[in-house]
Chain A
Amino acid sequence: MNLTLYVWRQKGPKDLGKLEQYEAPNVSPDQSFLEMLDDVNEVLIKTGKDPIAFDHDCREGICGMCSTVVNGRPHGGQDRTTVCQLHMRTFKDGDSIYIEPWKAKAFPIVKDLVVDRSALDAIQNAGGYTSCHTGGVPDANAVMISQPAAEYAMDAAECIGCGACVAGCPNSSAMLFTGNKVAQLAALPQGRPEAKARVKAMTEALKECGFGNCTNHYECQAACPKGIDVKFIAKLNREYIKSLLP
């Protein structure tokens, strides 16, 4: 099939950037979205033009590097699919495709479709860990964790940190990302001792990084390639309320 692409091109962080039109001829329906972009880049390189910069790594939907808004939906909007696992069979011959980077003040654009997501690391560094002694391997089952708690924590830990929740949010809020981390650790006994300090520190970091506030649009859940539930934001809210109590 033949497609027309409108791709966000921006030379650097200070450049204004604009959409540019490209043709993608002879696209195979079996190609992934990023393979289609690879082909477009091949042509650009051969004709001496600057290829389109985009983030990618595993291309298996697990690393969270790919980060592209396709036709107005983060990762293209296919349920529980990262853009690297989005296949061209979901498009039709003659389609126009708009390809844009994550847009949020907290995610400055580095080049074209590549954004700097270190703000998510800053939130994680503010409290997304447990402080414990390292050294000898602890005895198995020394700390008992119930099956429901383990499942709950694993559901929250499914987050791959891609930032689609921020890109999809009308307020550019990272509350789902933060909620996942808070909920995951709060559900486990190892995370309980620091739960109060953690929720305060991580939500403060969220604000300081320039993310917006959550107003319960739930657009993050729809955008998340792992389908993470906004119940983890509710959990964050409960943990925050608990942190205010003596």
Chain B
Amino acid sequence: MQFTQSTVGRKILMAVTGLILISFICVHLLGNSSVYWGADGINAYAKHLHDLGPLVWIFRLFMLAVFGLHILFGIQLTLENRAATPGNYAVKRLVRANFASETMIVSGLVLLAFVVYHILHFTMHLTNPEISASHLPVDALSRPDVFTMVVLSFQKFLISLIYVAAMVFLFLHVSHGFQSFIQTFGFNNGPSLHILEKVSKGFALVLLFGYISIPILIIFGIVKI
């Protein structure tokens, strides 16, 4: 049987693509945190990325492929799992699974919708054209003015709310996914599992607080133009 059809093969594919996606969101968070250095931070960071030219597109296509595989196999495995399970028990008590592990497909699909919205919003400037229209695309040093765009966006309560809510789903998805890929790669000798699960939750919390700090500090006016 092909690796891509095997039950364990696809588990490993989910783990590898998941690990790449987690690495990406870590780097993305580090990049985003340059917003705390003001326009000089995040605009300079944006200019560096723009200057990479075709490399940016190679990276984007790579991430698209990884994201696509993770989603496709995730949906396929979920459908198979539903098909393997006939009618529900009249009474069912789960003791080891948790809300995050049971709702991976839901949190995953919400994150997919969020990523589409996020790209339409910040990369393509399509969802709130009035924000882009209200300021110059570049700052005084002719760097892309990401700082103004981000601050004006998150000053809108609804946009901030969407971002914070999406990050709660990211927390759920990563809190199960992080320890899950470690188990899938076989790095669990039994006693290590409880530690791994705690580390996984802690890591997901760091991501949650890291990401939501930006809209929250902007909406409370602590970070402003």
Interface residues of chain A, those whose CB is within 8 Å of chain B, are 6, 8, 19, 69, 71-73, 77, 98, 100, 103-106, 168, 170-173, 175, 199-200, 203-204, 206-207, 210-219, 221-222, 229-231, 233-238, 240-241, 244
Contacts and interface: CB of A to CB of B under 8 A. Distances in A.
A172 to B, nearest CB: 4
Nearest to B83: A105
A214 B11 contact: yes
B8 A240 contact: yes
B104 interface: yes
Contact of B180 (A199, A216, A244): A216
B12 A217 contact: no
Interface string B6-22: 11111110000000000
Interface stretch (B50-58, B87-95, B120-128, B136-144): B87-95
Interface of B: 1, 3, 5-12, 77, 80-81, 83-97, 101-102, 104, 176, 179-180, 183-190, 193
Given A98-B91, A207-B1, A216-B184, A237 B11 contact: yes
A210 B84 contact: yes
Nearest to A231: B190
Given A103-B85, A212-B81, A219-B96, A204 B184 contact: no
A234 B7 contact: no
B8 A236 contact: yes
Contacts of A241: 12, 185-186
Contacts of B185: 237-238, 241
Given A171-B81, A172-B81, A237-B8, A230 B97 contact: no
Contact of B84 (A73, A171, A218, A238): A171
A19 B86 contact: no
A174 to B, nearest CB: 10
Given A207-B7, A216-B179, A172 B95 contact: no
B101 to A, nearest CB: 5
A181 B5 CA distance: 22
B94 A237 contact: no
Contact of A216 (B92, B94, B176): B176
Nearest to A17: B87
A217 B94 contact: yes
B80 A212 contact: yes
Nearest to A69: B89
15 contacts: A77-B95, A103-B85, A170-B102, A171-B84, A171-B85, A172-B84, A204-B6, A207-B1, A207-B7, A212-B81, A215-B11, A222-B95, A234-B189, A235-B186, A238-B185
